[in-house]
Amino acid sequence: MPYGNRKTAFSRRALLAGAGAAAAGALPSRRALAQTPTTLKIGFLTVDTGPLAAGGKQQEEGAALFLQERGGMIAGRKVDLIKQDTAGNTALARTRTQELVERYNVPVMIGPLATNEALAIDGYIRQTKVPLITTTSAATVDLKAHPVNPWVLHAFGTAPQVTYPLGDYAAKTLGYKRMAIVAEDFTYGYEGAGGFQLAFEAAGGKIVQKLWPPLNAPEYAPFLAQLKSNIDGIYMGFAGSNPLRFLKQFNDYGLKSRLGVLGNTTSTDEGILKMMGNEAVGVYSAGWYAAGLDTPDNKKFVAAINAAYHHDPGFYTAGPYTALLIIEQALKSTGGSTADAAAFLKALREVRLMHGPIGPVHLDEYGTPILDIYIRKVARVNGKLVNTILKTYPQVGQFWTYDPAEFVKRPPFSRDYPPSKYLE
C-alpha cells in the first residue's frame, strides 16, 4: 500500500518477533483511549528518502532491534510502531506528524531525524500535547522565541552539546590556534559550528573563516578553494551522506596532508564511516555514542546489530533505541498505561536511564539529556575503520560551563551568532 498510509516498512527479518500492528479500529478518543488495552501505538518519524536517508535506515535498525529483543512488547502491551517518512522535509514532517496524531491516534511519538524538522513540528506538539521523544540533535533552548515545550523530550543532547568539548579539545589538547568552519547552511550546521566556536575561542583559539555549503550542494570544490592556507585545521559540520562526499573531495583537493579535520558527531558516524576510505583516517569528532564504547550494554547492542545487519551501529541507530528505552521505563511507572496523559508525561520526564548503549542519561529542566561526551578519532583497526575513543567529558549538559539563566537569554545559533571576532 502507499508509503504514508500505514506503518512499519521494516524488514521482515528485523520484525519477525512480532513488532507488527495489532488490529484496532479507531474509537472515539483521539489519544490513548483510542487504543485497545493490549496495543500500544507509537509514532515513528524517520527518513527513507533524500540526502538524510542513510541515517533514517540506521534509525529503523535501532527501533527494530529494541522490539525484536522484547518480542514486540513493551510493558506487557503489543507495540504497533507506525512509521512515517518525512524525507528530511520540514513541511512533510508537519504533515506526517499530523497523520500520526489525528489519523492513527498515537499517544507518543519518536523522531524525527533532523533538527529543523523537530523545530517545524514544535508548535503542533504544543497544540496537541502528544509527547515527542526526539532522536535528533536537539535545538538549543531559545526561550525568547520558543518557551520550553513540556511535551518534547530528547533522547540525545543538543548539537553544540557535542561540539563544546570538541572545541575545547582542539585548543587545549591538539594545540590548534587558527581554524576555519565549513558547515551546512541550516539549523544543525549553525548549532554545531556555534558550539565549537564558543568553546574553541574561550580556550584561546580563533575562528578566522566560515563557509556555509547548502545541504544539497552538488560539490564542495568552490568552498575548498576558498580555505585559507595559514590555518591549523577545519571544523566540518555535515550530516547524512554528505560527510562522505566532503571528505573524499577534501582529500582529492590535496588538503588532508596539511590540515587537521574535526567534525560533529554525524561526520564520521558509524553508518557513513563504513563507506569511507583512508580519507577519513585521522579525523577527530565528538559524540554521545561510538560503537567502541566498552560497556556490557553497548557490547550487547553492537553484537546484535552486527548479527542482524553486518555492520556497526552508530549515533542514528542508538537514537530510537534510547527513545524506546525511555518509553519503556516510563510505562513501568504507570503500570503500562498511557490513558492518564499528565501522569504519562510526568513519568517520561522523570526517567533516569542507567543502562543502554549510550550510558547514564537524565534530563535537565528543559527536557534535554545530561550525558557523557566522547572525543573520537578515526583509525583503521583490523582492516576496518572505527571511531577510537580518546577522552571522555563526563555528564555534559547543554549549557556547557555557562550559567543557564544567562545562556538562555542569548540569540539562537545562526550564521551571525556567535559573533565572529577574528574573521580575516
pLDDT at 21 over 90: no
- Same domain, yes or no, for 376 and 366? no
**Is residue 227 situated within a structural domain?**
yes
Angle at the Cα of 154 from the Cα atoms of 150 and 159, rounded to 5 degrees: 120
Does 120 lie in the same domain as 183? no
pLDDT on residue 297: 96
Does one domain contain both 175 and 242?
yes
Q: Is 418 a member of any domain?
A: no
Confidence of residue 37 (pLDDT cuts 50, 70, 90): low
Q: Which of 345, 370, 395 is the last residue of a domain?
A: 370
Task: Identify the CATH number of the domain in which residue 274 sits.
Answer: 3.40.50.2300
Segment 91-100, tens digit of pLDDT: 999 999 999 9
Q: Is residue 191 part of a domain?
A: yes
- 305 shares a domain with 399: no
Model confidence at 17, in pLDDT bands (50, 70, 90)? very low
What's the pLDDT score for residue 146?
58
* Peptide linkage before 313 cis (omega within 30 of 0): no
153 and 183 housed in the same domain = no
Query: How far apart are the C-alpha atoms of 9 and 244, rounded to whole Å?
Result: 26
Question: Grid coordinates in use for 74?
Answer: 513493551
Q: Is residue 212 part of a domain?
A: yes
Whether 335 and 226 map to the same domain: the answer is: no
- Give me the number of domains the chain comprises: 2
- Shared domain for 51 and 73, answered yes or no, is yes
**Is residue 182 included in any domain, yes or no?**
yes
- Quick one: 22 and 84 in the same domain? yes
pLDDT band at 145 (very low <50, low <70, confident <90, very high): low
Domain limits for position 46:
3-158+294-370
Question: Which tens digits make up the pLDDT trace of 310-342?
Answer: 999 998 899 999 999 999 999 999 999 999 999
Between 198 and 216, where is the model more confident? 198
Average pLDDT of every residue of the chain: 88
Contact 360, 330 (CB under 8 A): no
Q: What's the grid cell of residue 392?
A: 571522555
The answer to whether residues 119 and 93 belong to one domain is yes
Mean pLDDT value across residues 167-195: 96
pLDDT of residue 15: 34
In tens, the pLDDT along 237-292 reads: 998 789 999 999 999 999 999 999 999 999 998 988 999 999 999 999 999 898 99
pLDDT tier, 147 (very low <50, low <70, confident <90, very high otherwise): confident
